[in-house]
Amino acid sequence: MDQPKTIAYQGVPGAYSESACLHLFGVGCRTLPCERFEDVYEAVLDGRADGGAVPVENTTTGSIHPNYDLLMKYPVHIVGEVKLLIEHCLLAPKGVGIGDLTGVKSHPQALAQCSDFFASHPKIAAIPEFDTAGSAQIVAREKGTTGAIASALAAEKYGLGILKKNLENQPGVNITRFFAIAKEPLADASAGTKCTIVYTPGGNRAGLLHKALSSFAVRNLDLLKIESRPRPGRPWEYIFHLDFRGNAATAAVAQTFEELRLEGGEVRLLGCYPEGSTRKLFSSRGVIPELP
């Protein structure tokens, strides 16, 4: 029997990123918690992990820029994608009810996403913590009247009760996109349906970005996302992370890259991978939840 794969993520057990590992690499994988995003990339490159899961974008708060910069910095490949519907749960030590709660801990972003709950429960204080699953871990240790906002997976990990599901203000539209990263690109080059590239224009002349987008448009390559990042050491110049539908082994994509490289432009393919679908978070390792 094959050894289970080891997959790295940033956070503590029960983190939303751990759920992404299971979706991207299968429920049988062994997950490796890391302190920093950098540690995930380094574990993948030095062989401690067979792959990693990193969040790149959330539909309510936008791009997670540290990972855009780290995807540039480390020579990893994007090999997959998943879009996880974030469903915040109100967790508390077993036996503690909503009426007993004096405070609720979580990451400031999760607290903000559940602000309606705090507005309608003025006696419950919102207490900022380092991360969501980490606050579940703390609350389980304290065994007091403080709850946590975290995933259902965190409730299971730390033996907490779920007092309320979908605590977020806008259920159904809070989705985080994760990339699967690995040391090598996908073995089957034909499996990719979406590409992520970094495009560095050859200078700062007017119209260069428009010209670059024309190269995609004339070939009907559907541009899904454009993200600009500062070009290191060159104030007010930018590099562009572009996501588009297409397979990197096709002539259309090869011609596009060729055009982008004219006039000194640089193109780096970060990965060609199957476009991810939207999934529900794991509440346990037993089942892979899928949206209808």
Binding residues for its own copies (CB under 8 A): 57-63, 65, 83, 170, 173, 175, 206-207, 209-210, 213-214, 216-217, 220, 222-230, 232-236, 238
**CB nearer its own copies, residue 183 or residue 229:** 229
**CB nearer its own copies, residue 83 or residue 157:** 83
Distance CA 190, CA 160 (A): 44
Amino acid making up residue 130? F
**CB nearer its own copies, residue 148 or residue 167:** 167
Distance CA 167, CA 170 (A): 9
Tell me which H or E stretch contains 215. helix 208-217
Q: How far is the CB of 174 from its own copies (least distance, A)?
A: 9
Q: How far is the CB of 30 from its own copies (least distance, A)?
A: 31
Q: How far is the CB of 213 from its own copies (least distance, A)?
A: 4
Q: Cβ atoms within 10 A of the Cβ of 45, count?
A: 16
Retrieve residue 183's tokens: 């040391």
**CB nearer its own copies, residue 187 or residue 206:** 206
**Integer distance in angstroms from the first to the last C-alpha of the chain?**
33
Beta strands in 136-193, from DSSP E residues, in sequence order: 146-150, 161-164, 175-182
Find the catalytic residue in 176, 196, 200, 256: 176
**CB nearer its own copies, residue 97 or residue 230:** 230
Q: Cβ atoms within 10 A of the Cβ of 209, count?
A: 15
178 is annotated as an active-site residue: yes
In Å, what is the CA distance from 160 to each residue of 20, 118, 246? 21, 20, 44
In Å, what is the CA distance from 221 to each residue of 84, 147, 165, 253? 25, 47, 39, 8
Q: How far is the CB of 228 from its own copies (least distance, A)?
A: 6
Contact 279, 84 (CB under 8 A): yes
Q: How far is the CB of 216 from its own copies (least distance, A)?
A: 7
Amino acid making up residue 209? L
Contact 19, 156 (CB under 8 A): no
179 is annotated as an active-site residue: no
**CB nearer its own copies, residue 146 or residue 215:** 215
Q: How far is the CB of 194 from its own copies (least distance, A)?
A: 12
Find the catalytic residue in 25, 37, 178, 179: 178
Give me the active site residues, please. 176, 178
